[in-house]
C-alpha cells in the first residue's frame, strides 16, 4: 500500500467528529445514573452508544484504503471536537493547558502526516 488517499483522511475526520458527539450523549446519559444504576437504560446513553458504533463505519472504510499509521493518530482530533462540544453543551472552561495540549496533538498529527510522504 502506497499513500493514504484524501478520501480516507476525510472519512477518519468525519468519524472523529461524529464519535466525539457520541461522548456528549454518553455524558448526558450518565447523568441519569445519579438516580441509581437501574437508569442505565435511557435514550441518551443508548444514543451515545449508537453514535459511537456508527462512527466506526466510516473509520473502517477509511482503513480499508489507507495506512493505519497515518489514519489512527488522526482519531486524536476527536479531542479537539470534544473540547468544543464540552464548552457548547456543558459550559466547561477552555483553559490554556487544554489549548496547549491540543496544539501538541496537532503538531504530532502534522509530523506523522509529513512523515508519511
Residue 1 belongs to some domain of the structure? no
Residue 24 pLDDT greater than 80, yes or no: yes
Q: How many domains does the chain have?
A: 1
Residue that has been written with the C-alpha cell 472504510 in this structure = 61
For 80-112, what is each residue's pLDDT tens digit? 999 999 999 999 999 999 999 999 999 988 888
Question: Which H/E stretch holds residue 29?
Answer: helix 6-31
Give the model's confidence band at 48: pLDDT under 50 very low, under 70 low, under 90 confident, else very high.
very high
Range of the domain at 59: 6-115
* Residue 38: exposure state from Cβ atoms within 10 A (0-12, 13-18, ≥19): exposed
pLDDT above 90: residue 58: yes
Section 12-37 average pLDDT: 89
Question: What's the pLDDT band for 117 if we cut at 50, 70, 90?
Answer: low
Mean pLDDT of 3-27: 93
Mean pLDDT of the chain: 89
Amino acid at each position: 500500500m502506497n499513500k493514504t488517499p484524501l478520501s480516507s483522511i476525510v472519512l477518519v475526520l468525519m468519524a472523529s467528529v461524529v464519535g466525539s458527539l457520541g461522548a456528549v450523549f454518553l455524558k448526558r446519559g450518565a447523568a441519569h445514573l445519579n438516580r441509581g444504576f437501574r437508569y442505565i437504560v435511557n435514550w441518551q446513553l443508548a444514543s451515545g452508544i449508537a453514535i459511537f458504533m456508527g462512527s466506526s463505519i466510516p473509520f473502517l472504510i477509511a482503513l480499508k484504503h489507507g495506512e493505519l499509521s497515518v489514519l489512527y493518530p488522526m482519531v486524536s482530533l476527536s479531542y479537539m471536537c470534544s473540547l468544543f462540544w464540552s464548552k457548547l453543551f456543558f459550559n466547561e472552561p477552555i483553559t490554556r493547558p487544554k489549548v496547549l495540549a491540543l496544539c501538541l496533538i496537532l503538531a504530532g498529527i502534522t509530523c506523522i502526516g509529513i512523515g508519511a510522504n
